[in-house]
Structure formats: C-alpha cells, structure tokens
Structure 1
Amino acid sequence: MTIHVFCPFAKAARPQDAPGKKQQKDSAAGDSGIISPKCPFGYDSQTFKLGPFSCMICQALLFDSTRCVPCTHVFCKACISRFNDCPLCGADIESTEADANLQSTVDRFIEGHARIKRSQVESTDEEEVEEKKTVIYEDVSLERGSFLLQQATRAFRAQNVESAKSRLIICAEDIRDQISRMGNTSELCSQLGAVLGLLGDCCRAMGDTASAVTYFEESVEFLLQLPQDETEITHTLSVSLNKLGDLKYYDGDLQAARSYYDRSLNVRRDAIKNKTDVPSQFLDVAVSLAKVADVDRSLGNEDTAIKGFQEGIKLLESLTLKSEETALEQRFINSQLAEK
C-alpha cells in the first residue's frame, strides 16, 4: 500500500513581520528580522537527508533502535528483522539487541525538532532593542509538521508501519494542541483531517480495522468543517469516505459500504461543478461511480449497476487528456461492465 496525499502543511502561511523602521534598518540580517532555524544534524522537510539518527533501510528516523551482533550496526527493529546479513557490511547477524539509549536520544531529538521560538521584545525604543541583541526566531510549527509527515511517509513506504504511525500520532497531537489554542480554523482542520486519514492507512495496513474506521471517520468529521472549494480538500475527504466504504465492503456490510461510496460520489460530483477543467476530478467521479455500481451489482441491482458503469465510461471518454492513468481507470470500469 502506498500513501498518496498532498502535504497538508504546504500552503500554510509563514508569520510576517510588522512594518517599521527597525525592519528597514536591519538589512544585514534580512529585511524580515527573522532567522530561520537550522537543524544541527541537517534534517529538514525540504531535502532528502540521511543523518546519524536515520535507519539506512527505511531511510526514516530510527524506531525501536536495534543493534546487530557482532557488527554493531543499528537499524529499526522492523527493518532489520527481514535480514539475515547486515545490509551495510554483509556480516552474518548472530543476534540483535535493543539500543534503548540511542532510541531515547532519537525520541528527544524528534520532540525538540523545529520547536525554536522566541517572543518579540515589547519595546518601541530601537536603541534599547539593539543593545539587547534581540533575536526573533520564526515559529516553525509548519516545518515540524512537514518534517514528521516526511519521516512517516518514508517509513510507510518501507513497510515500517509502526514507525510511520508513531510519527503521525505526534503530528496529530501537535495540530490538536494548536486547535485547542486557536480554534477550528480551516487550515488546522485540513491538516488534521489529512493526518488522521494517514493514520487510518497505517491501522488498516496493520490489520487494525476498528482503529482504521475510527481515524477515517474523524478525518471526515474535520474535513466536513471546511469550505468544499479546494481540490485537495475535496479529494482527501472523498478518499477517506471511499476507504470507509472499502472497510465495510470487505467486512460484508454492503449497505454501509454503498452509503459511504455514495457520499464520496456526491462530494466529487459537487467538486466538478465548480472546476470543470481538472481531469483528475472526472477520474475521481468515474472511480466513485464504479464503486457504487459494484456494490449495486453485489446487491442484485443489476440495471442500476450497469447504468453506473456506463456513466463512468462516458466521463472517461469525455476527457481530452489520454494519460496512462485514464486508460487504466477505463479498463477497470470496462472489465466490471463486461462481467455483467
């Protein structure tokens, strides 16, 4: 399983400085008067970085740090458990042992990463401010969220799902803390909705269906609080609804599955009313039509199912963009209709 998600922190605005003479005067330090924090180990959310706290297998930060015996190389427990020889040096792995001290260091690093912030001096006296050598650091909660999401995505792709879940839980806690202080802003609800959806993916990959349903439902709850006029938000909302439908479908509850699929379809239909020039929106609607039609077929509503599949095919045929993805979607719906 692969995580497909837009970064919920990508569009968040950085804090801006108040205008004033001091801002114009500090040209050497930059007009903003803000010093961007730098991670001493080189980790950030914008570049691909492997550092001293990285697992060389999943390339994310170490989780359940485990040392190989006798070569002493360290990896995540879940990662190294798949090997008989050390991936770094090729030595036979006679045994493994937990490295609690290193993991404690990694955990402290994660807790402190991108939390640098200093309050601005409450003074209008420019000379007094200069004498105190005041440095105003940027609030980098955005950088922290992107960093945690980056690490979680790397771990998930390497099938180290426990590591991914751990990082996403921290990210969700950070956003909840901001919501408690700032209220349910659209930006925060969007971020939390996306992260909760990713947590649902992790739980589903781990076989924890009940927790996956809980996370997906909470994701939907937060995303429904937002204006449905942004492509990323409507897509993430509809995906969470479809995933709930998938879980119900494989659990044998076809009526519940159809209800979730239908809600996703309605969200996607509303989206293309406002943005008719986005091919991906039509693909989304076609997929939802196929999901609803598939359930209708399983429920014995054959005529309704055929109409749904045919509508999906017409949507795909109306697209001018003939990409490989479009062709795959059309073949899927055609195969469903052919079976009937």
Structure 2
Amino acid sequence: MSSLCPFAGAATGGGVCPVKSDKSSAGVCPAKSDKSISGVCPVTGKDHGSEHKESTGHAEDKGTDPRMVPAKCPFGYDSNTFKLGPLSCIICQALLHESSKCKPCAHKFCKACIERFKDCPLCGADIEGIEPDTELQALVDRFIDGHARIKRSHAGGDVEAAGGKNKVIYEDVSMERGAFLVQQAMRAFRAQNIESAKSRLTMCADDIREELKSSEDNLDLCSQLGAVLGMLGDCCRTLGDAPSAITYYEESAEFLSKLPTKDLELVHTLSVSLNKIGDLRYYDGDLQSARNYYARSLDVRRNAVKEHSAVASQVIDLATSLAKVADVDRNLGNRSAAVEGFEEAIQCLQKLKLDSKQANLEQRRVSVLDFLHNQLADK
C-alpha cells in the first residue's frame, strides 16, 4: 500500500498530515473542549480545555463566517491529535474492527488480530475463546461517525430559500475525516489486518464519492479518490480477491487519468495501478490484456520523463515499464520486440548518473540493470 496520503495536499487548518507525521507515541490526551462538550477526556478523565483554547481558540475569532458551525467530534478528538487508547487495538494500533474479547481475561482486540494468538498479548493468559464485544464496537463506530460533515442552515439575513427551506451550509471536514480514515487503514494494513483497512478505506471512498456528486470536476477529490481506490485494490489483492482488485485499480486509473501530469506522486500512483492490473492479468494467463495495461503504464511514464527528465526515479520507473512490456512480448513470441525493449531500458539506466546522496536510487538502478542484462542473456 502506498505511503502517500491522498489528503496531504489539502490538509485543513494547517494541521500536519497524520499519515506522514504520526505522533501517536506522545502521551498527550487528545481531548478538545467546546461549549457543547465538557472538557473532560472520555478516556483519561483529564480536563484539557485550557490547552485547546491556547492551540485553536484564535482561529475561531478571526474572520470566521458566523453562519458556519465548526465541525467537532462528539468525543472531543480530531484526526491530528488522536492517540492510541481504549478505542484502538494494541496489536495493529488502529481503531478496533470487529471488536472481540478474550476469555477468560476479557482483554479486547480486533477479531482478525487476536485470532493469530494462542496467548493474550497483554497478560499472557491462555485464550480459551473469543467473543464479539458489540457495545465497544458500537462506541468505535460512533466515534468514526463523529468525523462526518456537519451541516447547519443559514442564520444571517441573506437566506436563500428553496422550496420553503433554508439553504444548508456544510462545514467541510472531509479532508480531516479522510486523512484520519486513511491513517487508520494504513496502520491496520501494515499489521496485516486487511479487513479493517478495507473497511476504513471504503468509508473514505464513499465520502469522496458523495462530494463528487456536486463537484465532478474537482481535481483534488479525483486525486484523493484515485489514491484511495488504489489502496482498496491492494487490500483485495492481499485477500486473494483478484477480480475486485482489478475493479478498484481500473477505477483508480480512471480518476487519476483526469489529472494533470505535473504531480509526479499522482503520475506514479496511476502508472502503478495500471501495472498492478497488468500483473494480475499476467498471473491469470491473459498475456495480451496484461500487455495492454503495461503499455498504458509505459505511455504514462514516457510522458512523465519528457516533462521531468532530470528526476531519476522517473527514469528508473520508465525502465521498469519497458521491462514489463518486453517480458510479455517475449512470452507472446515476439522476441525482436522484447530484445528492443530490454535494450532501450538498459540504455535509459546506463545514461542515468546519480550522486552519493542518492544511494537508495543507485541501488535500485543497479538491481533493475542486473535484471535486464539477465533477461537479454536468456533471450
């Protein structure tokens, strides 16, 4: 799964992207305080209302539209300050998914996480059985719902009536909610709790789809949805559900194809999605379909190199795509085209000069180059 947060470029409120900067190790209570909620953290019981005023209170005093109601999580958390706590699983370090309780010790984990253990990871007691904790899972679900967009009607004199109803203004926290869900999904994915990751990403994708209904040409939303769909494809691929993975990758490519090629991260995500479809077709024995997807990815990377010829990673990506197409050509019996593709890839990498600060890229360049030479030796 990509480490790129699709919400990083549009983070709200000047907050740090929770995917690229995860401060979950800090032992600070994430409680926030507003007029509708007591300043007491529901987890620790500590009052941090004064801290919240110091960190966020000024933003509400300067030029805020009085008709807009700032969106608040009903539990007092936000996506940038959420810490590991009783709503999380200590195994995957993400929000609980299918919360389950060990018997007899009663410690609680995600179902998929605890099923891999014979002894409780917390106390070491033998696990005699596990049972669902529906009350705790309902609490987690309400916590997630608390990050939904909040809507309020106009309160000023410029109310626009439509069918006798006030026009509704949405306080848009979708970026924050989306980044939060992606963060939780990536934690779960890294810990092999794939169903949890898939669940969070599906929520995120549904949120973005809803927004796109009224803003079809919003490039930020298209890029976010494209990245999230690619992650969902990774989840399905890991679960062995190739047809669903292909569907998600294809939809990801559809949205990412609408975007300008200036953002190299998004170009890379698009080409990777196309290559992953090609891989799945290849393993399924459909070589011609695999070649079509590899060729599309190759075209994307050729265009990227034309515009960013000095970016070493793009050149290595181009060589990789050339190798994929050449490999399929060889398997299809077109050996001359295969040799031509391998040789072009070798030339790209031999021309690439890297300095000492690019050791990781140099290692990758040498690895791909060795692979290409071996392919030619086997021709």
Scaled to the shorter chain, the TM-score interval is: 0.7 to 0.9
Structure 2 residue 140 is matched with structure 1 residue 106: yes
Moved more, 113-122 or 256-265: 113-122
2:235 counterpart letter in structure 1? C
Which SS does the other structure have where 1:182 is aligned?
A: coil
Whether the 8 Å contact between 2:71 and 2:149 is mirrored in structure 1 is no
> How well do the aligned residues superpose, as a CA RMSD in angstroms?
2.6
Q: Is contact 2:73-2:143 (8 Å) kept?
A: no
Aligned residue for 2:369? 330
**Helix, strand or coil at the partner of 1:68:** strand
- Separation (CA, whole Å) in 2 of partners of 1:290 and 1:48: 44
CA offset at residue 336 of structure 1? 2.7
Distance 1:141 1:100, change over 3 A: same
- Whether the 8 Å CA contact 1:42–1:51 is kept in 2: the answer is no
Between the aligned partners of 2:108 and 2:58, the Cα distance in structure 1 is: 46
- On the 8 A contact 1:67/1:73 being kept in 2, the answer is yes
Counting matched residue pairs gives: 318
The corresponding residue for 1:68 is 102
Rounded to whole Å, the distance in 2 between the matches of 1:278 and 1:49 is 37
Per-residue CA deviations over 1:198-254 (Å, capped at 9, x if unaligned) read 111111111111111111111111112222232122111111110110010000000
**Whole-angstrom distance in 1 between the partners of 2:59 and 2:365:** 52
Aligned to 1:21: none
Unaligned runs of 5+ residues in structure 1 are 17-25, 125-135
**Does residue 298 in structure 1 map to residue 331 in structure 2?**
yes
Quickly say closer, same or farther: Cα 1:147–1:15, change in 2 above 3 A. closer
Match of 2:44 in 1: none
Among all aligned residue pairs of Structure 1 and Structure 2, give the percentage whose two residues are the same amino acid.
61
Residue 220 of structure 2 corresponds to: 187
| CA distance 1:28–1:290, shift in 2 (3 Å) | closer
Please name the residue that 2:305 is paired with.
272
* Cross-structure match for 1:8: 6
Given the two structures, how large is their TM-score scaled by the length of structure 1? 0.85
Aligned partner (choices 171, 177, 196) of residue 210 of structure 2: 177
Q: How far apart are the structure 1 equivalents of 2:182 and 2:144? A: 12
Unpaired stretches in structure 2, ≥5 consecutive residues:
15-56, 159-168
Contact 1:43–1:49 at 8 Å: present in 2 too?
Answer: no
Aligned partner letter, 2:6: P
Q: CA deviation at 1:118?
A: 5.2
Structure 1 residue 309, shift from structure 2 partner: 1.5
The residue correspondences of 1:165-244 to structure 2 (distance < 5 A) are 165-244=198-277
CA shift, 1:27, in A, is: 6.5
Q: Write out per-residue CA displacement over residues 88-111 of structure 1, whole angstroms, 9 at most, x where no aligned residue.
A: 111111111111111111112111
Find the aligned partners of 1:318 and 1:188 in 2 and give their Cα distance. 38
Counterpart position of 1:23: none
Report the secondary structure of 2:131's partner residue: strand
Aligned residue runs from structure 1 range 245-260, under 5 A: 245-260=278-293
| TM-score relative to the length of structure 2 | 0.77
What SS does the corresponding residue of 2:101 show, helix, strand or coil?
strand
Q: Which amino acid aligns with 1:336?
A: Q
Correspondence for 2:345: 312
